[in-house]
Structure 1
Amino acid sequence: MKNEDFFFGKKPFNLNDWRDLASSVSQDHFTAQLNRYLNANDNFLEIMDGTSHPDFSSLLGAISPAEIGNIRIFARSDQNDALKATLACDILLVNGVVRVTPQWCAYKEIRSSEIISSLLVPIHARALQDKTYVVNSDGTMDKLLHGTDFESELQNIFTLSKYPGSYDSKYIKPLMVATDVGRANIPLDEVLSIYFKTMNPTS
């Protein structure tokens, strides 16, 4: 297995390095490149990010939504010994799985808010909440959102993170707004611009 790809560059792949790459080609082309790589590399690709607020939206916005089979959010205990768990997610495409492994965690309020802003809001703004699942410790999966029960979605995410006490009802509004603006059939960066203006009307 090669350590360098002509399109994606050198391994290990870093999410931050892909921002310009993702915006330089069309969604269809970027998605095709992901599937090409997956087909040639055991149907698996992992993208790392050493922060708790990765630019997940740039990646999500570069993939054709129709080509995403599902997104699976799960907990890991092997990324940071100081934490009970961190969160990661798998994006299922036709030829395999793209795994995003940052440092999403919920051990304090600022970290919890980053799970909302850099994981859940992009998923809702991309209108992918109905394709997204939470992977339980026993391997079973539950839908991220049932109807408009954002409270349960948040409680399940924070339970998954091993910090259930981090739940706060103030996180419901961002998900409601992201879901609402996500109904527009426009690029994700434009949807997020509308989202931020809605959330901060005086700025």
Structure 2
Amino acid sequence: MDDFFFGKCGSDGKGSVTIQLSEFLKIKSDNITAQHFSEQVNRLFGISNNRLILIDGTSSPDFDGLLVALSAMEIHSVEIEARNDINSNVTATLACNITFLNGVICIRPHWCGYKSIRSDEILSTLLLPIYLHALDKKVVLIVDGKKITLPNDSNGAVSAIFSLASYPQQENMRIYVEDVAQAKNIVENGVCSFDAWEEYRKRRLLRNGALNPYQLGKLGAVEVKGVENKTTPNNTFGRGR
């Protein structure tokens, strides 16, 4: 089908509309507010069986970009589930369903935790965006068909996510917990979204010894290039927008 706002859309054969996540995000230009974009999504629900499926063939989807494009006020809940119909080469992949008033956006990438680089991507492109957009209180996990609230403590939350992904033993688990704790603290101090990413990035540079406190104070929002991170996952440095 061709939609006047979203353009060419596919179908899952069951009445739901499917769109590539990357194409979906291209529509959100600077002159379109998150509120208006969310209103168009709600309109699309009316002709798509109340379900929009966003497909991404990678293990590092721009989930943060999606949250930026949408109005957080319109998001009722964020469900995270494990699926075994996306990638037969791994035990499970994670998917995310964002519930609005009139329907659900289903994000179906290849999030998986079978090796460290993939686990890093779960942290950097799923968990951190959720926390830095202050959505963690709206997250529920679908475990054996039951809805379980995401644990409030960082260790419990990280453990629950990787258990759901069927790869609970992670060599970087301590680092993941530290990163989530930092993200929680940043948002609790009233910083969120892009500014939260900037603050998170600076804290990690300081934590890893790449900057001293004096340099950090002078850094502001200036991007630091050429800093090699030796102690934390490669994909958690921030969006780099």
TM-score, normalized by the shorter chain, greater than 0.5:
yes
Structure 1 alignment gaps of length 5 or more: none
- Cα distance 1:151–1:44, how it changes in 2: closer, same or farther (>3 A)? same
CA distance in 1, matches of 2:35, 2:192: 13
Per-residue CA deviations over 1:131-165 (Å, capped at 9, x if unaligned) read: 0011102x11111132xx11111111111111111
TM alignment of 1:56-95, pairs within 5 A: 56-95=63-102
The count of aligned residue pairs is 198
Structure 2 alignment gaps of length 5 or more: 10-17, 211-223, 225-241
Q: Report the equivalent of 2:54.
A: 47
Q: Report the equivalent of 1:5.
A: 3
CA distance in 1, matches of 2:107, 2:177: 24
CA distance in 1, matches of 2:60, 2:94: 11
- Comparing both chains, which one has the higher relative contact order based on Cα–Cα distances under 8 Å and sequence gaps of 6 or more? 1
- Structure number with larger C-alpha Rg: 2
- Which among 11, 19, 43 is matched to residue 25 of structure 2? 19
Q: Report the equivalent of 1:115.
A: 122
Q: Taking structure 2 as the reference length, what is the TM-score of the superposition?
A: 0.77
CA distance in 1, matches of 2:191, 2:60: 24
CA distance in 2, matches of 1:53, 1:70: 22
TM alignment of 1:89-168, pairs within 5 A: 89-137=96-144, 139-146=145-152, 149-166=153-170, 168=173
Q: Taking structure 1 as the reference length, what is the TM-score of the superposition?
A: 0.91
CA distance in 2, matches of 1:194, 1:133: 26
Per-residue CA deviations over 1:42-95 (Å, capped at 9, x if unaligned) read: 100000111101110011112111211100000000011111000001000000
Per-residue CA deviations over 1:27-55 (Å, capped at 9, x if unaligned) read: 11011011010122110000011110111
- Cα distance 1:69–1:113, how it changes in 2: closer, same or farther (>3 A)? same
